Structure 1
Amino acid sequence: MTKHANADQMLLKMPSLRAVKCFVAAARHESFTRAAETLCVTQAAISRQIRELEEHLGTALFERVGRSVKLTPAGSIFFDAAQVSFINLAQAATRIRKDYGDNARRTLTLCCTPAFSALWMSRRLPSFFDENPDIDLDLVTTQNFLVMEPGVYPDVFITKHASVRDGYVSKTLFHDRIYPVCTPSYLAAHPEARTLEGLRDGILLNLSPYGRSQIAEHVDWGVWLAIQHLDIDDRPSTGSHYFNVNDYSLLVQMALNDQGVALGWDHLVAPLIAEGRLVRPVPQEMVLEETHHYLAYREESANDDALVRFRTWFLAQLDS
């Protein structure tokens, strides 16, 4: 009962939404006349609503300057809060009309890592939109799948967590294959990179673990070379650069710009290799057979038409 009482008290303390709407229009246009034209009411109606709002708040919200008006300090504070609230309401109304209205279009919310979004999704999404013109996608990227911002409830996760959240069904996709990649021109200029020792001593572009604490395993050059029985610490102390960054998309772009050798995750760089933009300087690779990527989707929506179509398209893309 207490919760209901508190909620009712909050509503009783709220000013009239009609008055707030008039206030926002007047603040945006710095004119009661323009606000009246925008809302298709009389200037007297605007003045009356704002006067009632000022009485409710107990302070002036505008200073009258000739034919225009200017927000007072209190008015500025209230305008910032009111404008954000109206934007949120307008966005919610748009989503409801789109998803539940008479001519509803379905919207699916997807969640994946920034690297998967940039290197895998971006090149394939046009085919999804071509095949499904009545489905819109909201794509959310994160490295932290276990803690999402309030109000974000993805329909689909593409993640390395076998159980990302209660109420989701997980389908096993693939495991990681990791190998060095560089451009053909970089390899031509640095033929020593064709050997493991030459690779170790050359310009290495490394994926930092910073901000990736939720990933079960982290593979960097130290780990990859250790699997090949080489020690990263044996690099010459005055040798080539060792560049560290936690943004994998940037790392791949640097490799594409002839700036060194990066570790390539096969599902992300294989198309670039197929196009000839990247090559594998050595044949060795690291295969993580015990860890997988997963497609997780809402169990309650498993038979939803839009979700079924996305799932079918996504798995077909993997097979191709």
Structure 2
Amino acid sequence: MKPRAPLPNLPLAAIRAFEAASRLGSLKAAAEEISVTPAAISHQIKALEAYLGANLFDRLYRSVRLTSAGERLAATTQRAFKDIGRTLDELKLDGLSAGPATLSISAAASFAAMWLAPRIHLFQALYPAIEIRLAADSTVVDLAHDASIDIALRYGPGPYGNALDADKLWPSGEVFPVCAPSLLASGSLDAPQALAHHPLLRTAPPLGAGIAGRPDWLAWLAAAGMSGTEATRLLERGPLFDSTQLAIEAAMAGRGVALAPAMLVQEAIRSGRLAKPFALGIPDPYSYWIVCRKDRLQEARIGAFHGWIMLEAEKAGAELRQSKAE
């Protein structure tokens, strides 16, 4: 059997316009998706109808409706474009156009442990061909010169230099005290002054990082109306941890009261593992950022993770706003 000759002058642009219009049920919506005018979509579809010698749509007053010929072609083109898109994604993520299949991520330790690690399986389920190597380290990574790290997730003031693409995962939020629910239930934290009877769990700034504007216990106690002398006296007794995660875990164990960014503790508060003893929070001038080299953002592995984490961050931000409203 002879192989079939390729179709001559296959009108690909017109087929693309028809596929979008048939799937979306609207010439206007198809035009918006393809970034052309509705008139251009209409012209392409008329050209395709002329090519086929058959009407594909019945033109109604404010809409279009597929004819029987249109329904046949719509089923084929929609399936074909979906298959093409899936294959292109697989080829990219198999490394044929994206290089190695490993994605190296450096993340601030507390963020990695408390926010990213519980969610990373969702990314792996979507992109099983990408191997994630996650380093939980608060040491600042020089992405401009260190090619061993693809992406950094950092907590800081930003920005991060002209050579880097840096996007906030969330707008700046607030920090506030948290403690074990049993400590709150005991009634011994009825006012900020009661903190004098409990250890304040502190977090040391990362080595080599600037601390200007970093939210800390002194700032919160001042906002609560305590004098500098009184606040300093309270801080003399509490232990100093090298990560916010350790301070939060000590608070969960009932060993004192920690100061934490809202985004890191919202799930623990919702699940009852932590409690918020006071309504007062102070603005957090720092934010969580995803950072990578600008000239690498189009790499498939990096682009896939960037898009995924921005969507996850949007969901988490919406949940936080909802919990505050409640």
TM-score computed with the length of structure 2 as normaliser: 0.59
Once the two structures are superposed, residues 276-307 of structure 1 have per-residue CA deviations (whole angstroms, 9 ceiling, x without a partner) of 1101001000113x543322222122222222
Structural RMSD (CA): 3.2
Q: Counterpart of 1:308 in 2: which secondary structure?
A: helix
1:243 paired with 2:242, answer no
- Segments of 5+ residues of structure 2 without an aligned counterpart are 1-92, 316-326
- Segments of 5+ residues of structure 1 without an aligned counterpart are 1-97
Partner of 1:62: none
Task: Tell me, yes or no, if the aligned pair for 1:201 and 1:236 is still in contact at 8 Å.
Answer: no
Partner of 1:120: 115
1:143 is matched by which residue type in structure 2? Answer: S
Deviation at 1:114, TM superposition (A): 0.9
Partner of 1:169: 165
Partner of 1:272: 268
1:183 paired with 2:180, answer yes
Specify whether residues 192 and 165 from structure 1 end up closer, same or farther in structure 2 by C-alpha distance, changes over 3 A only. same
Q: Counterpart of 2:205 in 1: which secondary structure?
A: coil
Specify whether residues 102 and 169 from structure 1 end up closer, same or farther in structure 2 by C-alpha distance, changes over 3 A only. closer
Q: Counterpart of 1:178 in 2: which secondary structure?
A: strand
Partner of 2:9: none
Task: Tell me, yes or no, if the aligned pair for 2:184 and 2:277 is still in contact at 8 Å.
Answer: yes
TM-score computed with the length of structure 1 as normaliser: 0.60
CA distance in 2, matches of 1:302, 1:102: 14
Specify whether residues 130 and 299 from structure 1 end up closer, same or farther in structure 2 by C-alpha distance, changes over 3 A only. same
Residue correspondences, number: 221
1:293 is matched by which residue type in structure 2? Answer: Y
Deviation at 1:143, TM superposition (A): 2.6
Q: Counterpart of 2:117 in 1: which secondary structure?
A: helix
Structure 1, 116-125 or 200-209: larger mean CA deviation:
200-209
CA distance in 1, matches of 2:261, 2:194: 21
CA distance in 2, matches of 1:162, 1:210: 15
1:116 is matched by which residue type in structure 2? Answer: F
Partner of 1:233: 229
CA distance in 2, matches of 1:313, 1:124: 11
Percent identity, please.
21
Task: Tell me, yes or no, if the aligned pair for 2:196 and 2:234 is still in contact at 8 Å.
Answer: no
Specify whether residues 297 and 152 from structure 1 end up closer, same or farther in structure 2 by C-alpha distance, changes over 3 A only. closer
Deviation at 1:268, TM superposition (A): 0.9
CA distance in 2, matches of 1:305, 1:210: 32
Specify whether residues 298 and 184 from structure 1 end up closer, same or farther in structure 2 by C-alpha distance, changes over 3 A only. same
1:187 is matched by which residue type in structure 2? Answer: L
Partner of 1:295: 290
